[in-house]
Structure 1
Amino acid sequence: MRLLEGLVRPYAWGSRTAIATIRGRRTPSAHPEAELWFGAHPAGQSQCLADADHPARSLLAEIEADPPAALGPAVIDEFGVRLPYLLKVLAADEPLSLQAHPSAEQAAEGFTRENAAGIRIDSPERNYRDRWHKPEVVLAMTPFDALAGFRDPARTVDLLRELSLPALDPYLGMIAGQPDCDGLRALFTTWITLPEAVLASLVPAVIDAAVAVAAGGESEFGAELRTLLELGEAYPRDPGVLASLLLNRIHLNPGEALYLAAGNLHAYLRGTAVEVMANSDNVLRGGLTPKHIDVPELLRVLDFTPVSPAQLSPTESVLGAERIYTTPAPEFRLSRVDLDGTGMHLPATISFDMPGPQILAVTAGRIDVRGGGTVVTADSGQAVWLADADPDVIVAAASSKATFYRARVPG
């Protein structure tokens, strides 16, 4: 067992309060803090803090020092000598880029292809920085908004008709005449490849139409139109603003989750959440960003099959104090545990007899993790690493209330 210190990533879309508050630091922070990483990704590693028996070193170095003890033979057989998941706290005050992630086969092929082409791993033109796919689950800690998955085309036709904009008529005809995945592909491809001169007039016209609808009274697409206006203000000539009209606008309450498989076009808009993903850095962007956009490659990986928000929800189950979110991803399983140090309203302890590798990330209060005669105490904003060779543990609330998130490889 090792106490972990997370790595803060200061992206411009981050919050100056959310992660700082979780870590017990002064707010507002000097810079936006977007993500707090707990894992062993080469691009951003958690640190195992020094204790009486161990020096400080990165979690990646901890794993590489003794892979069988850290990961266990089952994980090594399936995923190699690497922690297969990455756990993050994500805090968005502004929208993230519109993006999708490749399947395992697409990632392996793309990585090999770009290596053969001589594109540097750190090049901004690089699409595939590793050979792994990147399914992910996001679990809301606060109200959390996102765009995810292509909406039922019939509902998109209703939305475009409500805008009553003649300039949209040719595009409305494309999806109304073919309200299926092929129509969605045709319309999205048309929009994302529009010349900048066309976007410079079309995007403002769509925004003006949305303002007119909003001014006219209540609309069943009120949330979608508000998102359109927010994105249009930040990215007035970006095709991603138009693409937002094709996606499900999803609101998560705290404790609700969203699972995104390969090919799912999405953008997180606002809120704080815990996110667990396969340990990869492969992102294909489609807009709402100044970063590299490779349209042909994005179109190659996108899945245009319409989905409902309910289809993007993981399966939830409760086992004592643990709420488990099950997804098809073989690399990870995420759960939330709430403990009550007084034992009056919730259990004060929980025991884990599953093998590692596991990460327990604390977001409120303090926990004691006991096993084999050792106790590791983690405060809010810290985590505990449990290796496969570690003994069974008992986790106890060391404060009146404690909340932590558990990431592990499914059994």
Structure 2
Amino acid sequence: MDRLANTVRPYAWGSTTAIPELLGIEPTGEPQAEMWMGAHPGAPSRLAREAGERALSDVIAADPAGELGSAAVEKFGPRLPFLLKILAAGAPLSLQVHPNLEQAKAGYAAEESAGVPVDAPHRNYKDANHKPELICALTPFDGLCGFRDPLEAAALLAGLGVDTLEPYVDLLHARPEESALREVLTAVLTADPEEMTKTVHAAALSAERLGGPYIPYAAIAHHYPGDPGVIAAMLLNHVQLQPGEALFLGAGVPHAYLDGLGVEIMANSDNVLRCGLTPKHVDVPELLRIVRFEAGDPGVLRPEASPSGEELYDTPTDEFRLSRFVLAPGAAARDITAPTPQILLCTAGGVTVGELALAPGESVFVPAGDKTEIAGTRGGTGTLFRATVVV
């Protein structure tokens, strides 16, 4: 097994303090948004092997079966199919959805055929893969996930007392669920930009004055003044996760993370279609084709404990499997050897993986089949997240 050196991405929405506090280092004053653990070509983890420090992506490419196991290679190909992150939101991320696998393959093929450069700002599909994802809170964590019941959304919008929102309120009352949500989101995203800016400004002032359930939207408007995504956000469920709780985000589900520190895992893809809260490209027709216009409970996940002490976050995807262990000091070591690749991440206290001691924010890559024993240290209870695949 190998200790990983990981890249921290300095996106503008990142917290300036959360990741440094986890790592026990001094903040730089700059936003630190995501720490990536995996073999994504954008920022692969690095590890020390006999020939010196190498990118995990290169190590896997040199011996896919040896690093990933034959079953994982047969099922997913010669690549690590997931990306693990520590995510620290100090401001709202973009409101977005991800395609399913069939949509991603078709969209990627179409843009390749049209000759759209992969790095073009208006490109929607960077690869041919879907991007299911799971976020697990390490601190209290705020987000938006899935559509509210149309009548609840209508009540929220009506409560602002903004005249230009009344047509949306009427639509939410008058149409069946799917068409109500589709028509209102379409109207918001295609409205005259100047008029929508005025509507968002009026809605933001009212939300700030009213407080209570409107507080998240006043905060969003503060970061993205005039953005139609502020109104679109009010169509979605506001979710507040407590540490240890999680959300699974499947294809077509609109969502945004607002604030907090969490462990995120996803299929290894860059495919994102944005609805708002961003200066980046918004392809409204393609977005509306991908979004699932279904209202429902966002489905907060809590881990399911097994007799072995492993606490699993059960999701309907095979590209990743996330679980955690809470390891008491002095307890006997646990064997978690697996025929699949693993990334193990410490998020609290101290743990040992074999002979390696991990502090919060430190991680290791374990090749398939390598003997793996984990334990807490004498310094107190430790928390270890385990990322692998389902074969």
Question: The TM-score by the shorter chain falls in which range?
Answer: over 0.9
Relative to the length of structure 1, the TM-score reads: 0.91
Gaps in structure 2 of 5+ consecutive residues: none
* C-alpha displacement of 1:138: 0.3
Of the three residues 310, 316, 341, the one matched with 2:304 is 316
| Within-5 A mapping of 1:101-180 | 101-180=98-177
Aligned to 1:25: 25
| Within-5 A mapping of 1:339-354 | 339-341=327-329, 343=330, 347=331, 349-354=333-338
Aligned to 1:410: 390
CA deviation string 1:350-388 (max 9, x = no partner): 221322211001122333222xxxx33333222111111
Aligned to 1:249: 238
CA deviation string 1:303-330 (max 9, x = no partner): 11112133x5366334443211010011
Aligned to 1:2: 2
| Within-5 A mapping of 1:35-74 | 35-50=34-49, 53=50, 55-74=52-71
CA deviation string 1:220-249 (max 9, x = no partner): xx23x1111111222221110000110000
Aligned to 1:217: none
Q: Is the 8 A contact 1:200 1:237 kept in 2?
A: yes
Q: Is the 8 A contact 1:101 1:262 kept in 2?
A: yes
* C-alpha displacement of 1:348: 5.1
Shifted more, 155-164 versus 139-148: the winner is 155-164
Q: Is the 8 A contact 2:343 2:388 kept in 1?
A: yes
2:174 aligned with 1:185, yes or no? no
Of the three residues 277, 283, 286, the one matched with 1:294 is 283
Q: Is the 8 A contact 2:155 2:169 kept in 1?
A: no
Aligned to 1:273: 262
- The one-letter code matched in structure 2 to 1:19 is I
Q: How far apart in 1 are the matches of 2:384 and 2:301? A: 21
Shifted more, 91-100 versus 150-159: the winner is 150-159
Of the three residues 275, 283, 288, the one matched with 2:272 is 283
Change (3 A) 1:319 1:36: farther
CA deviation string 1:158-215 (max 9, x = no partner): 222322333222111111001401110010000011111111221122223334534x
- The one-letter code matched in structure 2 to 1:39 is G
Q: How far apart in 1 are the matches of 2:31 and 2:186? A: 34
Relative to the length of structure 2, the TM-score reads: 0.95
Q: Is the 8 A contact 1:6 1:381 kept in 2?
A: no
Q: Is the 8 A contact 2:346 2:384 kept in 1?
A: yes
Q: How far apart in 2 are the matches of 1:315 and 1:260? A: 16
CA deviation string 1:68-94 (max 9, x = no partner): 111112111211111110100000111
* C-alpha displacement of 1:395: 0.8
Shifted more, 400-409 versus 242-251: the winner is 400-409
2:74 aligned with 1:77, yes or no? yes
- The one-letter code matched in structure 1 to 2:54 is R
Q: Is the 8 A contact 2:100 2:251 kept in 1?
A: yes
Q: Is the 8 A contact 2:245 2:303 kept in 1?
A: no
Q: How far apart in 2 are the matches of 1:58 and 1:319? A: 36
Aligned to 1:379: 359
Aligned positions, number: 390
Of the three residues 382, 385, 397, the one matched with 2:376 is 397
Aligned to 2:340: 356
| 3-state SS, counterpart of residue 62 of structure 1 | helix
Could you say what the CA RMSD is over the residues aligned between the two structures, in angstroms? 1.7
Q: How far apart in 1 are the matches of 2:65 and 2:80? A: 11
Q: Is the 8 A contact 2:125 2:271 kept in 1?
A: yes
| 3-state SS, counterpart of residue 5 of structure 1 | coil
| 3-state SS, counterpart of residue 206 of structure 1 | helix
Q: Is the 8 A contact 1:92 1:269 kept in 2?
A: yes
Q: Is the 8 A contact 1:6 1:37 kept in 2?
A: yes
Aligned to 2:326: 338
Q: How far apart in 2 are the matches of 1:162 and 1:11? A: 34
* C-alpha displacement of 1:293: 1.2
Q: How far apart in 1 are the matches of 2:209 and 2:385? A: 44
Of the three residues 89, 93, 103, the one matched with 1:92 is 89
Aligned to 1:219: none
* C-alpha displacement of 1:13: 1.0
Q: How far apart in 1 are the matches of 2:278 and 2:167? A: 27
Q: Is the 8 A contact 1:154 1:179 kept in 2?
A: no
Aligned to 2:33: 34
Q: How far apart in 1 are the matches of 2:318 and 2:303? A: 14
* C-alpha displacement of 1:409: 0.5
- The one-letter code matched in structure 2 to 1:387 is P
Identity of aligned residues (%): 45
| 3-state SS, counterpart of residue 91 of structure 1 | strand
Change (3 A) 1:351 1:54: farther
Change (3 A) 1:288 1:397: same
* C-alpha displacement of 1:56: 1.4
Q: How far apart in 1 are the matches of 2:381 and 2:209? A: 48
